[in-house]
Amino acid sequence: MPFSILLHDLCTLFKGGITSQKYYLYNRTTSMKKLMMVALGCALTVTSLAANATTSSAVYRIDDALVEAAFDQSTLQNATPLAFTAGVNQQLQAFGFAQAAIEDPDPVVATLLAFFVGAYGLHRVYLGSGVKMVVLYVLTCGGISGIIPLIDTVMLLIGYSQDDISQYIGNDRFIMWTGQ
């Protein structure tokens, strides 16, 4: 066997050995990294569970007798938007703002106001409902996002076609088309 073939076989074997050794070391370090990450995750899970087990019983204890006593001493409050704005007209009048007082509002003007600026409640002020309606319409994002002014427009058109919008004049209800 010539020396060159032997040398070629040794180099091939040596190269294959180095390649397989690199592959073995790469797999070994990758496996070790995965094992370390799993161990770290388990350690963090056990630590957090142990921490929660020792603190949860002390922190979240509810005394039912104290809760019942607090409910017995409490009073029921009515927190409606109308209760919030009950004195708005008087407060605005104290600062010099006057409530709109129109003897006989024109239904066409009221309908046009409801259609174009109904989200601000100006048609309600024109009809004599007071400035508190402007506050309510602004607080409800344009009368519940413009749905109430749209229905107000339709109801005013129906009232105009029947020549009677008297039920809407001076109406202080937020939803003006509901029953008397």
For residue 154, the model assigns a pLDDT of: 92
For residue 84, the model assigns a pLDDT of: 46
For residue 103, the model assigns a pLDDT of: 67
Q: What is the pLDDT along the chain (180 residues), one digit of tens a residue?
A: 555 655 555 555 555 555 555 555 556 666 677 777 888 888 888 887 777 665 545 556 788 888 888 888 887 765 554 444 545 556 656 665 555 455 678 889 999 999 999 888 888 888 888 788 888 888 888 888 889 999 999 999 998 899 888 888 888 888 887 765
Report long-range pairs for 166-174 (Cβ below 8 Å, ≥24 apart). Answer: 168/110, 168/127, 169/105, 169/127, 169/128, 170/127, 170/128, 170/129, 171/124, 171/127, 171/129, 172/129, 172/130, 172/132, 172/133, 174/81, 174/82, 174/133, 174/136, 174/148
For residue 83, the model assigns a pLDDT of: 47
Q: Where do the structural domains in the chain lie, given as residue ranges?
A: 3-72, 81-168
